[in-house]
Structure 1
Amino acid sequence: MLRFPGQPGQPGQPGQGPLTPDDIVIGPLDLATRIDEALNVQAVAFGLGADEIAVRRQIVLRHLTFPGARALGATTPGGRLAGFVYGMPNDRSHWWSTVVEPYLREQGQDGWLDHSFVITELHVHPDFQNRGAGRALITTITDGAAEPRSILSAIDTESPARGLYRSLGYEDLAVQVLFPSAPKPYAVMGAPLPLRRR
C-alpha cells in the first residue's frame, strides 16, 4: 500500500494504526543529502557501474541548483529509499534540451520544450517494483507542477517503464534519439497534465 503525507493512515496521526511492512510512503526528498542512497537505487535499477554513478552524482547535484527543481522519494517504514523521482521546469538552454531539440523539430514537436515539466530521473529499486511506487512518484511530482504538460526521455524499447509512461498519457514525440556516450537510443515522450489515472 502506498501512502502520501497527510493521507489517512499516515504514521504519526493518532488512531490511524501503524504501517505494515509493505507500506511505502511517497513524500518530499532532500536529494542532495541522500544522493548516494538515491544513486545506489539508480545503479541497481539501471545497471550502472561506479564510474557512471560518479559522473551522474555531479550532474544531479548541478540539476538541483536549477530553478524549480524538486524531488520525491518512496520510503519504507524502516527509512530505506525504495525509489525516487526528480524534475524541473524545462529550459531550452539545458543540455538535455539542446540534444533532443533537433529530433523534436524534425517531427514538428519542438514546442514541447516550452512550458513543460521535465522528469529528469525516475527509478525504483527492483525489490520494490510492480507495487505502484513509480506511478505514484511521477503522478505526485507532476501534480505539483505549474506547467500544463510534461516531457521525459526513456530508452527506446518496449520496456515496463515505457508501458507505465504510456498508461499515464505520455506519447512518443521523437524516437531513436542519440545522446552522447549513451549506448542505446532513447525516445522523447510528452503528456498533458495532470497525468491520466487508471
Structure 2
Amino acid sequence: MPHRNRTDAIDDAAVTIGPLDLRARVDEALAVQAHAFGLGDDEIAVRRQIVLRHITYPGARSLGATTESGRLVGFVYGMPNDRTHWWSTVVEPYLRAGGNEHWLDDSFVITELHVHPGYQNRGIGRTLITALTDGAAQPRSILSAIDFDSPARGLYHSLGYDDLARKVLFPSAPKPYAVMGAPLPLRRDDP
C-alpha cells in the first residue's frame, strides 16, 4: 500500500508499506532500530539473534516501510502471544497484579515497531501497526513501551491501547516499561 510523505533530505519522498522479509533484511531493520533507539553494537548483536528466532515462531509476521530507492526506513513485526515466551513470563506477574493476566491469552503481540527519526511524525508507524494488526486472527493486541510520555506511547493511546501494567522491569533494561493492550481492529479516528 503506497504511503506518500513530504520530501525528506535523507532520501525519497515516497514510502511504501508492504511485506518485509525480516530474515533477509534483519541488519537493515536493526540499523533503523539502533538509530531510533540509540542502541550500540553489542545490543544490536543480541537483538539480531532474538529477531531471527522470533520470525521462526508460528504466525510471526512483519511489514516494512521502504523508500522508492528500496531503503528500509521503518518496520514492525509481531506474533500470536505464547505464555511460554520470555516476554510473557516477565510481564505476567505485573499483569496478574492488576487483574489483567487474561490479556496474555488470544492476543497478537507487537514485538518491535521502529521508524527512522528522519521519517517519524508522518503516519508511517501508525500505518505499519494498523496494517500488521489488521491481519491478526486474535481479538486484541498487546505490546510494551518505555514507561514515560513519549510520542510512541501517544501513538499507541491514539490507536486504542490502554495501560495494563506500569513500571514493568525487564532484566538488563535501564528504564521501566508499560504493558499496553487494545481490542482489534485498532482505532482509526485521528487523535
TM-score w.r.t. the length of structure 1 is: 0.90
Provide, for residues 61-105 of structure 1, a one-character-per-residue CA deviation record: whole Å limited to 9, x for no partner. Answer: 000111000000001011000100000000000000000000000
In 2, the alpha carbon distance for the partners of 1:113 and 1:152 equals 10
Match for 2:137 among 115, 129, 146?
146
Match for 1:116 among 88, 97, 107?
107
Q: Number of residues paired by the alignment?
A: 183
4+ runs deviating over 4 angstroms: none
Aligned to 1:165: 156
Larger radius of gyration, structure 1 or 2?
A: 1
- For the residue of structure 1 that corresponds to 2:165, the secondary structure is strand
**How far is 1:23 from its partner?**
1.5
Matched residue type, 1:191: A
Matched residue type, 2:34: A
Matched residue type, 1:102: P
Aligned to 1:190: 181
In the alignment, structure 1 residue 132 sits paired with structure 2 residue 123:
yes
- For the residue of structure 2 that corresponds to 1:154, the secondary structure is strand
In 1, the alpha carbon distance for the partners of 2:22 and 2:49 equals 12
In 2, the alpha carbon distance for the partners of 1:147 and 1:22 equals 34
In 1, the alpha carbon distance for the partners of 2:100 and 2:160 equals 16
Aligned-residue CA RMSD (Å): 1.4
- For the residue of structure 1 that corresponds to 2:125, the secondary structure is helix
Aligned to 1:12: none
Matched residue type, 1:177: V
In 2, the alpha carbon distance for the partners of 1:68 and 1:82 equals 24
TM-score w.r.t. the length of structure 2 is: 0.94
Q: What stretches of structure 2 of length at least 5 have no aligned partner?
A: 5-11
In 1, the alpha carbon distance for the partners of 2:174 and 2:126 equals 26
In the alignment, structure 1 residue 55 sits paired with structure 2 residue 54:
no
In 1, the alpha carbon distance for the partners of 2:75 and 2:141 equals 17
Aligned to 2:24: 33
In 1, the alpha carbon distance for the partners of 2:127 and 2:135 equals 13
**How far is 1:110 from its partner?**
0.4
Aligned to 2:94: 103
